[in-house]
A and B are shown apart, each in its own frame.
Chain A
Amino acid sequence: MIIKILGSSCRKCLSLGANAKAAVEAAGKQADIVKVTDIAQIAAYGLLSTPGLVIDERLVSSGKVLSAGEIAKLL
């Protein structure tokens, strides 16, 4: 599974990344967490506010810092 965190290195993006990591570990799954900071690549997902969360190329949330629990449900 590939999880992408979309957004420049703002505080929200960093905490979303940390929550995603915690969710993956708690679920005991294997996943690569990739940070996408290039604006052209971010734009390709069509979101209006960062941070964005992409799981296996599907945009599942934007503009929100989901908690580890919320991310676990999406995995």
Chain B
Amino acid sequence: MTPFGWMNDQLLRMDWLSALVTRGVLAAGLDPDSRLGGSIQFFVFDVIKIFILLTVLIFAISWVQSFFPPERTRRILGGRSGLGANTLAALLGTITPFCSCSSIPIFIGFTAAGLPLAITFSFLISSPLVDLASVILLASIFSWPIALAYVVVGLVVAILGGTLIGRAGMEDQVADFVRTAPVQDGDTDMTRAERFTFARDQVSEIVRRVWPFVLIGVGIGAAIHNWVPADIITALLGQDHWWSVPLATLVGIPMYADIFGTLPIAEALLGKSVGLGTVLAFMMAVTALSLPSIIMLRRVVKTPLLMLFLAVVTGGILGIGFLFNEISDWFI
């Protein structure tokens, strides 16, 4: 085995932990291949793995992110336009730290500083959709090709979505107080000790926020994995139905969950031979759009722009779903 293969299997996919949990299940007198034993194995292994990865990843990534506070992103993006600027905005969206409760202040701050809507929306779409932690988790649960494909298509949705919104000429479809908001450009440099505190606080904040979603997600995943008959899932979301991708997207949009809670569900669905495109569409719909974020956005943009935003993102997710169902043979 190559060193990379070993690191990938043991450190990222945590095969050692899977084996350990299987032994634990056996020691408890259960058969890991049985329904109950299998569910317990899936649940315990996934919960432990996700929390280990979450802690390590969020710490490492927050350290990187501490170099790119939103003020700096705004400075970098200021005065740019065109496809290159949209690409830069989408890329910065993946590393700028923010939780969904901060997306509205960022929208206001960017718009008030005169950034075009095209750039701001590229940033806002990519930020929840593609972040560094989710990429590594995807690689751990699925594979590197799927993780990289997810990043690429997520960025494409953000870049094209922002560009389309920019082309629509809706710069006036923003609440009035957004334009008149002051622009503050504070000193945001951190010392090493501050970066450490920031990263540590991010870990505790995010873990405390997402743990219920992870438990629920893994629970649903375990249920799908071992209790829901494959033919029911296939009948609903099977690869040969035209409605699988739209159904997965529509179910996912109002849901509010982190990618960390969504992954185990996606993992279990993929195990039931649901198409890769359908699974990706579900994950993207859950993370990119949610009822709370739509309600918050409603406060700062007027209805036509909100509708355009929803239509562009939904359309992008549907497109990705159909595309990946067609080409899933390349990945699995």
Contacts and interface: CB of A to CB of B under 8 A. Distances in A.
B144 interface: no
Contact of B201 (A10, A59, A65): A65
Interface residues of A, number: 21
Contacts of A44: 177, 181-182
B121 to A, nearest CB: 16
Interface in A49-71: 49-50, 59, 62-65
B74 interface: yes
B109 A48 contact: yes
B184 A59 contact: yes
Interface string A29-63: 00000000001101111111110000000010011
Given A39-B299, A46-B183, A11 B109 contact: no
Contact of A8 (B101, B108, B109, B182): B101
Contacts of B108: 39, 43
Contacts of B306: none
B105 A40 contact: no
Nearest to A64: B198
B177 A40 contact: yes
A7 interface: yes
A21 interface: no
Interface string B54-76: 00000000000000011100100
Interface of B: 69-71, 74, 98-99, 101-102, 104-106, 108-109, 112, 175, 177-178, 181-184, 186, 198, 201, 205, 208-209, 296, 299-300
- 10 closest Cβ contacts across the A-B interface? A46-B182, A46-B184, A48-B70, A48-B109, A43-B181, A10-B101, A40-B177, A49-B102, A43-B108, A39-B299
